[in-house]
Amino acid sequence: MSPWFVRRIGLMIALVTGLGLYFFYDGWIGYPKKNFNAALFAAFETGKSGDAGLPDPSAFHLADFSEAQSEALNQAIQSGRKGETWSRFAASRHLAAEEPKILTAKEIRDQFFYGALMGIIAAGLAIYLLRERKKTLSADESGIRFPAGNRLKFAEISQLDLRKWDRGIAFVKAGATRAKIDDYKYTGAGEIVNRLQAENPDLDIVAAEDTES
């Protein structure tokens, strides 16, 4: 198998895994943090109205407030009670000046769903790569052995289709059998194509220009 193909699938696995971890991060940390910011705004508004009670965490799809969060909420209440503006309080905590949006429970659950989906896709790609790495494309003195395990002798191959060779794909035909030679996936595919042409001078070669004329 060619290093290019392995790198390509490996990069896909890394990207999908990274995306999955990003979704899980949002579900576990990012979205609850955004909802806590919304709780801070609610506490700030509570202070402006003269009340002193902390917001209900369930209203923001949070299990409970930590000690540090409760302290921050009390600070928001005090700031609101003093008549400060939300934008000033938000700036002191490096938050946006706009009113924070409460993310729904479904939006939070969706992050875990998409994270799990990316994990399944990454696992599928890894299994595919491991399975494909066991396959080989090779040639000996008399013929070609294909990744599926079948073997065709040079002499029995009647046609070589090179219409997609600019993309690294060639097809050979022997009777009713048609097999693919993939230069991007398997190292040495180009040498096998050249050897086939040298070993079988009667080969019918179909090139791209043949279909254009």
| 48 and 114 together in one domain | yes
- Give the mean pLDDT of the chain: 92
Q: How far is CA 11 from CA 14, 121, 123, 156, in A?
A: 5, 13, 13, 39
24 vs 49, residue with greater confidence:
24
Kindly state the helix (H) or strand (E) to which residue 159 belongs, with its residue range.
strand 159-161
| Confidence check: pLDDT of 209 > 70 | no
| 31 and 52 together in one domain | yes
Kindly state the helix (H) or strand (E) to which residue 152 belongs, with its residue range.
strand 151-153
> Domain of 168?
138-212
| 12 and 104 together in one domain | yes
| 152 and 115 together in one domain | no
Q: Which of 38, 129, 51 is nearest to 86 (CA)?
A: 38
Q: What is the pLDDT of residue 52?
A: 73
**Where does the pLDDT of residue 210 fall: very low under 50, low under 70, confident under 90, or very high at 90 and above?**
low
Q: Which pTM value belongs to this model?
A: 0.77
**Where does the pLDDT of residue 211 fall: very low under 50, low under 70, confident under 90, or very high at 90 and above?**
low
> Total domain count for the chain?
2
| 144 and 42 together in one domain | no
Of 108, 130, 152, at which residue does a domain stop? 130
Q: Across residues 2-17, what is the average pLDDT?
A: 94
Q: First vs last Cα of the chain: how many Å apart?
A: 35
Q: What is the pLDDT of residue 53?
A: 84
Contact 76, 40 (CB under 8 A): yes
Of 130, 162, 178, at which residue does a domain stop? 130
**Where does the pLDDT of residue 202 fall: very low under 50, low under 70, confident under 90, or very high at 90 and above?**
confident
Contact 192, 139 (CB under 8 A): yes
Contact 5, 184 (CB under 8 A): yes
| 148 and 171 together in one domain | yes
Tens-place pLDDT, residues 103-125: 999 999 999 999 999 999 999 99
Contact 122, 13 (CB under 8 A): yes
Tens-place pLDDT, residues 184-194: 899 999 999 99
Of 130, 151, 167, at which residue does a domain stop? 130
